[in-house]
Amino acid sequence: MALIELKHLTKTFKGKTQTVDALRDINLDINQGDIYGIIGMSGAGKSTLVRCINFLEKPTSGSVVIDGKDLSTLTPAELRKLRQEVSMIFQHFNLLQQRDVRGNIAFAMEIAGMKRDAINKRIDELLEIVGLTDRQHNYPSQLSGGQQQRVAIARALATNPKIILCDEATSALDPTTTTSILNLLREINKKMGITIVIITHEMSVVESTCSHVAIIDNGTLVETGRVEDVFSHPKSSAARKLIFRKTGADAPPLGKRMIRIVFEGNASSEPILADLVMECRVAVNIMHAETRDVGGKAFGHMILQLPEERVQQEKVIYYLQSRSIHVEEV
Amino acid sequence: MALEKLIPLLMDGIKDTLYMTTISTLFAYLLGMPLALALVLTSPKGLKPMPLLYRVMDFVVNIFRSIPFLILMILVIPVTRFIAGKSYGSTATIVPLVIAAAPYVARMIESSLLEVDPGVIEAAQSMGASIPQIVFKVLIPEAKTSLIVGATISSGTILGYSAMSGAIGGGGLGQIAISYGYNRYQTDVLVATVVLLVILMQIIQIVGMFISRKTDKRVRE
């Protein structure tokens, strides 16, 4: 059974003049130990979705089941108890400005009703994990963004949660800091087995960190699955827009036949194009090429402009297919 | 007026003024704080939205805020008599001062609490904090600096009200200014009370701002 089950989740916001369907029939299973990325353009409903997982937003219909518990059946007190197992970190860190690093980490445990001695002991452990022991008496205003997010992560870990929800947790950070925060999250996932849900609009975050991905567009999940599957063969146009964002692949120039070839795993280490040109004796024009490292394997995609002649076009496609390369018309 | 008579007179005036101001501020906060919390929590965007209750409280606060202090003082004379036993003198004046200041203080506290970053409140909720925990561990401590600034402004305003109360039987420096300076044309006494009021206001302001700065952790050292 999945650790987080979302079933037929919908969320509608009613305004005075209009209603907005922020989420429509979302179904998603997230298993223990996953690092699940939920990616979408801004306004797609990502933040609403993640807030439904811990019931900061109550869904309009459908259910959220965490560890077998249907959240809508819990009393307010039971829900607060459950939230100690589902921590959350935020884009803007949301630390208490009037408490120092230790005080901020202590906060989560004070809420959980832990004793002073136990809190202090745990703070020392957590400072070690996030590498902020030398900053423990600083206030948030004296810390960099990355350091503040580390404090937030320590705070999130304090109550030994099963799940950490990350709402655009790296979007306010520079690339280097982003990498170090993502590394920390991966390490936490690996060492402690904590399931992590990452909400983001950045492909690179999902590529480098997530095991699974769900693509959300206009309040609907359009694709879900393992990162390498979804990213190498995106089926929906929303997914393509996100993955091949800069290629303009959805609007090819008229009159020219173009194909997208996708190659993955060992295929990317072979000189396919050179072989193609030599063996078929045709010229192809590379309109766009991009390779990515997804989950440790190399993936690439290219957009080729084919020769005018029909026979030569078919030859190219046939050749590529014989080399077991995924070909699609664009 | 001879100095040996003036000084004890003014000393008494200062004592009475400080007495009225501090006790009134204290009671205004005792009433204003829960009222402000109720306003913040029950507002449509609050943690416990109760639109009807909110609108009623909002309306009542506005009514009290819109009555000029001098007129309010006359209006509540029966209440003052009921609580203090008489309607004149320093102690009795505390009653209208509190009635006028509590809604004012509530608004000051309300605006301080609304300045607290909603993200931090959301973070507390995500950790499973209850409403009392959010109030006492997030709202009030995070608004501390702003609350102290508000208290400084409020006690200054209450100091001003207390002086005004001298016009209709309140005690303290205001009463001295009116009975000697206005009714008996003793300009020296009038000027002396004004100078003292200015000094008191300055002290309140300087001390208040000093405390708020000292306790604010957002400022880099």
pLDDT over 50 (residue A119): yes
Q: What is the CATH number of the domain that holds A259?
A: 3.30.70.260
In this structure, the answer to whether residues A217 and A252 fall within a common structural domain is no
In this structure, the answer to whether residues A208 and A256 fall within a common structural domain is no
In this structure, the answer to whether residues A174 and A294 fall within a common structural domain is no
In this structure, the answer to whether residues A178 and A283 fall within a common structural domain is no
The domain ranges of chain B are: 3-215
Mean pLDDT of A235-254: 62
| Token pair in block for residue B61 | 């606060």
Q: Which chain B positions have a beta carbon within 8 Å of A142's beta carbon?
A: 220-221
In this structure, the answer to whether residues A172 and A30 fall within a common structural domain is yes
Q: Which chain B positions have a beta carbon within 8 Å of A84's beta carbon?
A: 127-128
Q: Final residue of a domain: which of A242, A271, A296?
A: A242
Q: Across the strands, what pairs with B199? A: none
In this structure, the answer to whether residues A99 and A172 fall within a common structural domain is yes
Q: Which chain A positions have a beta carbon within 8 Å of B120's beta carbon?
A: 94-97
φ/ψ (deg, to 5) at A50: -70, -35
Nearest CA of chain B to the CA of A45: how many Å? 18
- B217/A90 touch (CB, cutoff 8 Å), yes or no: no
Nearest CA of chain A to the CA of B139: how many Å? 10
Helix (H) or strand (E) holding A29: strand A19-30
Domain count, chain A: 2
Residues A248-306: tens digit of each pLDDT? 444 444 447 888 888 776 566 677 788 888 777 777 888 888 776 665 566 777 888 88
Task: Determine the topology of domain B3-215 in CATH.
Answer: MetI-like fold (1.10.3720)
In this structure, the answer to whether residues A45 and A146 fall within a common structural domain is yes
The segment with the largest mean pLDDT, out of A169-173, A233-237, B107-111, B186-190, is B107-111
Q: What is the CATH number of the domain that holds A12?
A: 3.40.50.300
In this structure, the answer to whether residues A324 and A214 fall within a common structural domain is no
In this structure, the answer to whether residues A9 and A146 fall within a common structural domain is yes
Residues B112-127: tens digit of each pLDDT? 999 999 999 999 999 9
For the question of whether the overall pTM of this predicted structure is more than 0.80, the answer is yes
Q: Which chain A positions have a beta carbon within 8 Å of B216's beta carbon?
A: 98
Determine the residue of chain A that is closest to B123 in CA distance. A94
In this structure, the answer to whether residues A235 and A314 fall within a common structural domain is no
- Other C-beta atoms lying within 10 Å of the C-beta of residue A238: 21
In this structure, the answer to whether residues A102 and A181 fall within a common structural domain is yes
Q: Which chain A positions have a beta carbon within 8 Å of B124's beta carbon?
A: 107, 111
> What single letter denotes the amino acid at residue A38?
I
| Contact (Cβ atoms closer than 8 angstroms) between residue B189 and residue B177 | yes
In this structure, the answer to whether residues A202 and A292 fall within a common structural domain is no
What local confidence, expressed as pLDDT, does residue A293 receive? 65
Chain A window 111-140: which residues touch B at a Cβ cutoff of 8 Å?
A: 111-112, 139-140
Nearest CA of chain B to the CA of A54: how many Å? 7
Residues B163-175: tens digit of each pLDDT? 999 888 888 999 9
- B120/A80 touch (CB, cutoff 8 Å), yes or no: no
Give the integer Cα–Cα distance in Å for A309 and A289.
23
Give the integer Cα–Cα distance in Å for B9 and B70.
24
- Other C-beta atoms lying within 10 Å of the C-beta of residue B213: 12
- A83/B126 touch (CB, cutoff 8 Å), yes or no: yes
Nearest CA of chain B to the CA of A31: how many Å? 21
Helix (H) or strand (E) holding A198: strand A195-200
Q: Final residue of a domain: which of A198, A215, A242?
A: A242
Is A168 touching B (CB cutoff 8 A)? no
Q: Quote the domain boundaries for residue A124.
A: 4-242
- A141/B142 touch (CB, cutoff 8 Å), yes or no: no
Residue whose pair of structure tokens reads 């999250």 in the numeric block: A185
